[in-house]
Structure 1
Amino acid sequence: MNYFKKIIAYALPYKKHGILNIFFNILYAVFSTLSFLVLMPMLEVIFKPGSIVNTNKPVFKGITEIIEYFKGSVSYYVSEIAGEDKSKALMIVVGLVIFTFFFKNIFNYLAMYFITFLRNGVLKDIRNDLYKKTINLPISFFSEKRKGDIMARIGTDVLEIQHSFLSILEMLVREPLTIIFTITAMLLISIKLTLFVFVFIPVSGFAISIIGKSLKKKSDSVQKEQGYFLSLLEETLGGLKVIKGFNAEKDFQGKFENSTNRFFHFSNSLLNRTNLASPTSEFLGIGVIAVLLWYGGRLVLVDGSLAGEEFITYIALAYNILTPAKAISKASYSLKKGNAAAERVLEILETKNPLEDLPNAIDKTSFENEIEFKNISFKYQDNYVLDDFSLSIPKGKMVALVGQSGSGKSTIANLITRFYDVNKGAITIDGIDIKSIKKHSLRQLEGLVTQDSILFNDSVKNNITLGSTYKTDEEIIAAAKIANAHEFISELPNGYNTNIGDSGNKLSGGQKQRLSIARAVLKNPPIMILDEATSALDTESEKLVQDALEKMMMNRTSIVIAHRLSTIQKADLIVVMQKGKIVEQGTHETLIAINGTYKKLVDMQSLD
């Protein structure tokens, strides 16, 4: 119920639709009962033709006599219209039956009409919140989760919530009221018979509850397995070249088939258990009807305390309870399935973001003096990647970080952009701890070009202008020219409006990287972070782009993480890193003269 309350909170913005749904459900419940009660006058016309003629207006004698009053009123008004014409009387009573059934269904439609807006609105809002939470959570959260599992939660789990929890809203008023009104009518027809029926209802309720106990656990297994094979599918599509290149199709096919086989068995178990609910509840319901026929028949034939038309109407009313009772029993199963889905969805929605802006975080719109790393230490898991690292980067200077893989270079880029937070120490900009600056404001000061070219299935223009709104075509072209991208873009079928495919797969590696650089150039931030930005370029493109980057970085603060040492010879400061510590720092000439680690790295790359 705790999950249910949290999900239902999403329905509050749509309370107007909820109120209208309740209103029409009440009318539906009333007319659902009336539609069966008006069968009594019709049956009287058929089986007791003389009884429908009633010239005396009935008098209401109290609630216990309301059925007699109802029958008398119908007879009186039918007699007023039809007189003693029995055929006309029958037509009027049949018309009354059609009238009540027509309005019962009209009110049912209107109730469903308004609940549709509520259900789909809640579905939309949960998905929006999930997506918002997903893009706001730190990168570290997704290193522990499969992408496919996240996709399953936003897709199928949210749908399961709609089918389970929100379907309960439809019956929250309608089904209980239908049962209450119907039972009231049954009590008014025969108290004895109704009390007899209610002896058997707890037995059927107990049988139904036994079936549903393990549904949540089985549903959870189905949803987890679905998340796994969606993740496997996402990895397969992303790594198709490698899979084919290493002839690993059979391995991945085996993994996928194992997953779908597990899903097959989990789903069969869950659906068979769920499907058992409907026939069980119907069989038990028919059992109650059978008992009714036996006991009620005795009241008609032996005792004479119940009229034939009243008994037939009573049976119809009793059967009228079966549909809402079945819906409620199915809802109890759905609630258990929905619990598993809601738990997975709320796990993401309620995850605390350790990188949230502080309440007193400030907006910083300019960079004036320096960036400083003050004795910072950081670890992704157990071992520290950076240990007591300190570095000062004055405004306008280009600082290059070099070292072997695993030395902590890229971690510096992750920390300055606050993709992760330091475990010890502090990173400051103009003396202000970056934790005290709003993330959006901090990242607005920074431009980032990563080793992997992250592009989207969109046009060239939209990829370049990502995050940079209201840019003119002239500015976009100028940025592309600086990144040495304008020439190849112009040769594309639709120029800047050409769609580059999923992850930019219609472009070469060098072209993709130059678009990433053009994106950073267009943003024009005061701080530029280049994480091995030229690593994917061929020699010719590298020289052209390097020249453009040097012009772009002139009088700009730049942190360059380099693998190719030829690209950072002109850096104001080269910092050589090893196992998270600084082992050497200085200009290219100074470090060559020292004849230490940097010189060895240069010699390994055969740099003159």
Structure 2
Amino acid sequence: MDAENEKKILVEDTTTTDSTPKDEAEKPAGLGDLWRVYRFADRLDWFLNITSLICSIASGAAMPLMTIVFGQFTGRFSDFAGGSVDPDDFKDDVNQFVLWFIYLFVGKFVLAYVATTAVTISGIRTTRVLRQRFLEHLLRTEIWYFDTANVGSPATQMTTNVTRINQGIAEKLSLLVQGLAMFFSSFVVAISVQWKLALITLTVVPLFFLIIGIGMAIDAPIEAKVTGSYSQGNAFAQEVLASIRTVHAFWAQGRMKVRYDKYLDEAHQYGKKKSIVYGIMSSSTYFCMYGGNALAFWQGFRMYQSGEIDSVGTVFTVVLSVLLASSSIGLLYPQVPALANGAAAASELFKIFDKPSSLDPLSNEGKVPSTCQGQLQVDDISFSYPSRPDTQVLKNLTLNIPAGKTTAFVGASGSGKSTIIGLLERWYIPSSGRLLLDGMDVSMLNVKWLRSQMALVQQEPVLFRGTVFENVAKGFTEAQKALALDEQRRLVQEACEAAYAHEFILKLEQGYDTYLGERGGTLSGGQKQRVAIARSVVSNPKILLLDEATSALDPTAERIVQKALSHVSQERTTVVIAHRLSTIKDADNIVVISAGQVVEQGTHEELITLDAHYARLIKAQNLAIPENDTHNDLSAKEGPMVTDSDDAVERVMTAQTEKSVALKDGKSKPKDRSLLTSIFLILKEQKSLLPAICVSAAACSIAAATWPGQAILFSRLVTTFSSSEPSASDANFYSLMFFVIALGNLIAYFVIGYLSNIVAQSMSHQYRLELFSRMVDMDIDFFDRTENSSGALASILSSVPSSLQELLGLNIFVVLIMIVNLTASSALTLGYGWKLALVMVFAGLPLVTGSGYVKIRLESRLHDSNEVRFRESASLASEAVSALRTVASLTAESDFIHEYSETLSSIVIKSIKSLSVAMVAYAFSQSVEFLVMALGFWYGSRLMASGEYTAEQFFLIFMGVLFAGQAAAQLFANLGSLTRAKGAANYLFNLREENPMIRETDDNKDEGPDFDRTVGIHNVYFKYKSRSTRVLSGLSMDINPSQFVAVVGPSGCGKSTLISLLERYYDPTSGMICAGQQDIKNISPRLYRNEMSIVQQEPVLYEGSVRENILMGLDGDSADASDERLNEAARQANVLDFVSSLPEGFNTHCGARGSAFSGGQRQRIAIARALIRKPKLLLLDEATSALDSHSERLVQEALEKSRKESGCSVIAVAHRLSTIRNADVIFVLVGGKVAEVGTHEELQAMGGVYADMCQAQSLDREA
């Protein structure tokens, strides 16, 4: 065929990195992107946000208000120590102070509960709308946009990115506001008490915010690049996981891991740049605030000594306020990275949101005619794909498609046939010319109405997760969707009967309610095709578009379906694209297209008479059955022939019977390890990061020592101030010690900020790669499970490592600081005064830890359940976007949006109920310290009144417990993210325990196959794990060396299962498959697969160049094959001329799933990939089904020549019998066993099943 002609249909790669516009890629991320998320909030959300804001501010101000009470108490104590107040009055005054603490407890509890609950509910509700609108935006975007844009993985966008956004506008934002409120309230209190001293200490605040602002401005763009790299990596990973059979067939797991690792390494390199930012930002902020403490004490003493401040209580109110402002940084700082991450994630989403759609399928714009006759006219159409505007696919094409008639398009692969379908569906807009429907330009018609008048069945049918009924019902019109369920089921059954699908559906375990896997993967190709046809005819469309609609059907099923289609085509405009010409010989008009132009048209008889293009195609396909052959009527054999106890029926996996991480034997439940166990196990395996972790832990100890150190200094300063003759040297010394603490924090927090990011980035890289590696190494039945769709696994690849970062990232070091602080402060207080310390610590600590533990447990359960639901919803959305053309042709956008919305709504409802309970425990953990303080004041005052405790003892213990309480509150505030990490760690550990059964081991690694001897299939029985019905029932056959063996039979008889067993995707239930004298179970699967190749019915190409895709057929040691070998494989597959004619030749990008090429071109590249391997056993599963007759003949000749030259054995599964008539032996399968065996001539002479199949496909003998 003409290679130049084929080049015309090339569509540029849809997902390459450099396809993203530069201005879009370089647009910096900022907090503005995060705030834009609030445009998805409704009035209730705004009410909740404003309520939360007010309560967060009030909650944050509670602790600074305590300093007023504390300052007054210090003043009264000074009076008591000076003898101006008697013990009884002192006790009465203290009792009043205690009541104030109780009031603060109640207020803090209510405010913290309302603030956190309100903002969390609002965040969940807002991001629910965000997820829904994001999917809606993708489905409303014109299809050609995806030919050049990079939208990453929808699963990643809707799980990890939206989760980060949710944290940024909910949980983390609330903590940030409370921290800021505490920070500013502390200074407000200080100013109200002594404005001059307060203003002096405030000099550090502008510097503090300047550092934070600059740090976030630098961090956000870096984080956006990290997020972008991960998004591209996840898109690639999803592509790999969706085609895992091809990856396993070519033992390409290692190469896929290397390619995926390149995306991870790019993100890692970007991520490491954040280390210096985090180090400087964290150390500088803590240094500023602790330096402010030193300044406050130093200046406060000078002002007190000079008489400018007349009360000790005033000084300590101001100083304690400054101390609290410092401690608030512990609440503020961990939230900064979360906001940066949220902003980067929002930036990723808004790059897509900001692209307006120029062709909205859900818009009400455009005319909606009252009737549709179905008269189509192509008027002088020229067309070039948007990504290749200089290359014309159609050239001034003019064509009339009469209403109620069948028009067939035939021609070479890549001639522009499918492009016409794309223009009719308005996936693309013509460069010039018009498309008319009933005389009206389709550009003036409403898009949804136009598509609803058409029904499309594509060459590679796409089904969706859901039941058979739900899949067929996707083709309903709006009027049909409003019918009663019983009536809908009747319509579905009638459509399935017309499509010859009813019988095999009834044999499924749940009939029409049987759940299908991702992309309908639990059905065979023929069964998927029939369900897709039923989905198309169920709406009784005016126009039927059939793009190789019966290519996957066996001859008998094809003939019956053709009769059904002929019946439903009556009084309906039907456009058929076909390579198998037997399917269109009765068309009213046959149009032969070449190089984007019509070269001839007419009826079958008229074109035969011309003896030109069409006649040559006919002769190439004729099976030339002898005139004197006689055949029985097929109708008597239809029942037994369609024996769908088949591979597809048995691959149906029921979600109800499996857990999300079920082990191989299905008996063990996934383990649920505790948070501490998870941390220990992760630490244990991070030997390379252990030095950084140990240094960071040491720095945490220094930072944590700050708090008990401050308690000691504070108590000493109280003593100094309360002295009858205050010592300036002591005050200066202790102030200097506060500055030393500031210097210690400068060093400690730089180390923590810098190294924690190094650890986090390394862990993210490591665990993303490990998860992907383990996933691609899993047995195929792992991917058959409903919860392991490619979208769900892509979501896990993103969310689990992100959560695992929390275990050893910044958050864990913050938690460690708080634990050391809590422990050290408690120990210090017990050492200085055990009576008061015992009361305060052991009365308060169980309350704090108990409430915190309850909160963590509740949050952990909620997170685990939500993770599963969000993965399922992301999988649904990802499936819809990956099959956008099918969704558009069905006008099913609203259905998917509604289904997705319903799924999200159920998550929101369950989450709100759980959160309402969990937040009670959280609010109590945040406020109980006031009760502890009340108790401490009451009991401590009595100990001081009795002279048992000194002022220094009381204040040291009180401050120690105060700081310990602060640590406990911040500890449980930050532990929320660790609960997510616990669930992620459990997923990883459980996945590790699920080892694939089909793998290379020490015992088999040197055991290779002997394909120079007979490949034997001996009495093989097979059924899929969760099913009781057998697929293969005692199948036996021998394949001799260098033999061409064909396997034929009705769709669903077990042909594809046989290929799967030969590829060792599965092992037989019983029986044996031998390569020579060895059971293939005892052979290394790597060595076994390296000796064989497969070309599947639906060819899979990967994002990357043509060269990379063909070289994937080689093992790792030969991946750098010579150009000569590459060219030879391409020549044998009849694709060399086409590839050479492309501007970039073998370096041309294939696009995601090979979307840059037509089906026939993809198939030939896949054949080249198989042939470059020089296999000893070649498996062809409908390998030439997508090729035109000319290409098919050339490829068949090349395969035959290759077989004879190399001596390889060939096993071909075929429906198009012309491709296997020269086979050395043909096995006819019926019901999972061999029904007939022989050569083409021998089977013809039998006049049985095979002969009837040949008769169904033969063309007019006169041709």
The TM-score, its normalising length taken from structure 2, stands at 0.43
**Counterpart position of 1:95:** 736
**Counterpart position of 1:2:** 673
**Counterpart position of 1:431:** 1077
Residue 509 of structure 1, aligned match among 1122, 1139, 1159: 1159
SS at match of 2:1172: helix
Q: Residues 176 and 249 from structure 1, CA distance in 2 versus in 1: closer, same or farther, beyond 3 angstroms?
A: closer
Residue 598 of structure 1, aligned match among 1236, 1250, 1253: 1250
Contact kept? 1:229, 1:259, Cα under 8 Å: yes
Could you give the per-residue CA deviations for residues 78-97 of structure 1, whole angstroms, max 9, x where no partner exists?
xxxxxxxx3x6544431221
Deviation of the 1:276 alpha carbon:
4.8
Could you give the per-residue CA deviations for residues 534-566 of structure 1, whole angstroms, max 9, x where no partner exists?
011122222222222222222321111111000
Deviation of the 1:453 alpha carbon:
0.9
The aligned runs of 1:186-585 (5 Å cut-off) are 186-201=829-844, 202-269=846-913, 275-300=919-944, 302-308=945-951, 310-330=953-973, 336-357=979-1000, 360-361=1003-1004, 362-364=1006-1008, 367-380=1011-1024, 381-468=1027-1114, 469-554=1119-1204, 555-585=1207-1237
Deviation of the 1:305 alpha carbon:
4.0
Deviation of the 1:191 alpha carbon:
2.6
Residue 765 of structure 2, aligned match among 103, 108, 124: 124
Structure 1 Cα separation of the partners of residues 1156 and 690 of structure 2: 48
Contact kept? 1:130, 1:349, Cα under 8 Å: no
SS at match of 1:585: strand
SS at match of 1:231: helix
Deviation of the 1:213 alpha carbon:
4.3
Contact kept? 1:274, 1:333, Cα under 8 Å: no
Could you give the per-residue CA deviations for residues 198-233 of structure 1, whole angstroms, max 9, x where no partner exists?
352234444444444433332222111111111102
Deviation of the 1:115 alpha carbon:
4.3
Structure 1 Cα separation of the partners of residues 927 and 974 of structure 2: 18
Structure 2 Cα separation of the partners of residues 339 and 96 of structure 1: 40
Deviation of the 1:573 alpha carbon:
0.9
SS at match of 1:601: helix
Letter in 1 for 2:738: V
**Counterpart position of 1:71:** none
Letter in 2 for 1:156: S
SS at match of 1:287: helix
Q: Residues 212 and 556 from structure 1, CA distance in 2 versus in 1: closer, same or farther, beyond 3 angstroms?
A: closer
Letter in 1 for 2:819: P
**Counterpart position of 2:626:** none
Contact kept? 2:851, 2:921, Cα under 8 Å: no
Letter in 1 for 2:1219: T
Structure 2 unaligned regions, length at least 5? 1-671
SS at match of 1:214: helix
SS at match of 1:372: strand
Contact kept? 1:10, 1:122, Cα under 8 Å: no
Structure 1 unaligned regions, length at least 5? 53-85
Structure 2 Cα separation of the partners of residues 341 and 48 of structure 1: 57
The TM-score, its normalising length taken from structure 1, stands at 0.87
SS at match of 1:391: strand
**Counterpart position of 2:819:** 176
Structure 2 Cα separation of the partners of residues 421 and 100 of structure 1: 67
SS at match of 1:50: coil
Deviation of the 1:571 alpha carbon:
1.0
Could you give the per-residue CA deviations for residues 379-428 of structure 1, whole angstroms, max 9, x where no partner exists?
12322221111111111111011111111111111111100101111111
Contact kept? 1:448, 1:528, Cα under 8 Å: yes
- How many residue pairs get aligned? The number is 573
SS at match of 1:179: helix
Contact kept? 1:459, 1:497, Cα under 8 Å: yes
Structure 1 Cα separation of the partners of residues 673 and 951 of structure 2: 49
Letter in 2 for 1:241: R
Deviation of the 1:568 alpha carbon:
0.9
Q: Residues 546 and 157 from structure 1, CA distance in 2 versus in 1: closer, same or farther, beyond 3 angstroms?
A: same
Letter in 2 for 1:9: L
Moved more, 372-381 or 416-425: 372-381
Contact kept? 1:39, 1:97, Cα under 8 Å: no
Moved more, 405-414 or 326-335: 326-335
Deviation of the 1:250 alpha carbon:
1.8
Structure 2 Cα separation of the partners of residues 574 and 472 of structure 1: 36
Deviation of the 1:592 alpha carbon:
1.3
Whether 2:704 is the aligned partner of 1:29: answer yes
Structure 1 Cα separation of the partners of residues 682 and 842 of structure 2: 40
**Counterpart position of 1:64:** none
Residue 110 of structure 1, aligned match among 751, 770, 774: 751
Deviation of the 1:252 alpha carbon:
1.1
Deviation of the 1:192 alpha carbon:
2.5
Contact kept? 1:449, 1:531, Cα under 8 Å: yes
Contact kept? 1:426, 1:433, Cα under 8 Å: yes
Moved more, 219-228 or 28-37: 28-37
Structure 1 Cα separation of the partners of residues 1195 and 1131 of structure 2: 10
Letter in 2 for 1:2: R
Deviation of the 1:461 alpha carbon:
1.3
Could you give the per-residue CA deviations for residues 132-191 of structure 1, whole angstroms, max 9, x where no partner exists?
221111111211133233223222134334336877853675433322321232234333
Q: Residues 520 and 49 from structure 1, CA distance in 2 versus in 1: closer, same or farther, beyond 3 angstroms?
A: farther
Letter in 1 for 2:1107: K
Contact kept? 1:277, 1:329, Cα under 8 Å: no
**Counterpart position of 2:419:** none
Could you give the per-residue CA deviations for residues 10-35 of structure 1, whole angstroms, max 9, x where no partner exists?
32323333332333333333343223
Structure 1 Cα separation of the partners of residues 1197 and 679 of structure 2: 56
Q: How big is the alpha-carbon RMSD for the aligned residues of Structure 1 and Structure 2?
A: 2.7
Letter in 2 for 1:162: Q
SS at match of 2:1210: strand
Contact kept? 1:153, 1:345, Cα under 8 Å: no
**Counterpart position of 1:67:** none
SS at match of 1:404: coil
Letter in 2 for 1:492: L
Structure 2 Cα separation of the partners of residues 499 and 93 of structure 1: 69
Could you give the per-residue CA deviations for residues 96-143 of structure 1, whole angstroms, max 9, x where no partner exists?
211123304532442454444444444433332322221111111211
Contact kept? 2:753, 2:810, Cα under 8 Å: no
Structure 2 Cα separation of the partners of residues 6 and 298 of structure 1: 46
Q: Residues 275 and 155 from structure 1, CA distance in 2 versus in 1: closer, same or farther, beyond 3 angstroms?
A: farther
Letter in 2 for 1:472: S
SS at match of 2:1031: strand
Residue 151 of structure 1, aligned match among 786, 794, 797: 794
Structure 2 Cα separation of the partners of residues 493 and 276 of structure 1: 66
Q: Residues 212 and 139 from structure 1, CA distance in 2 versus in 1: closer, same or farther, beyond 3 angstroms?
A: same
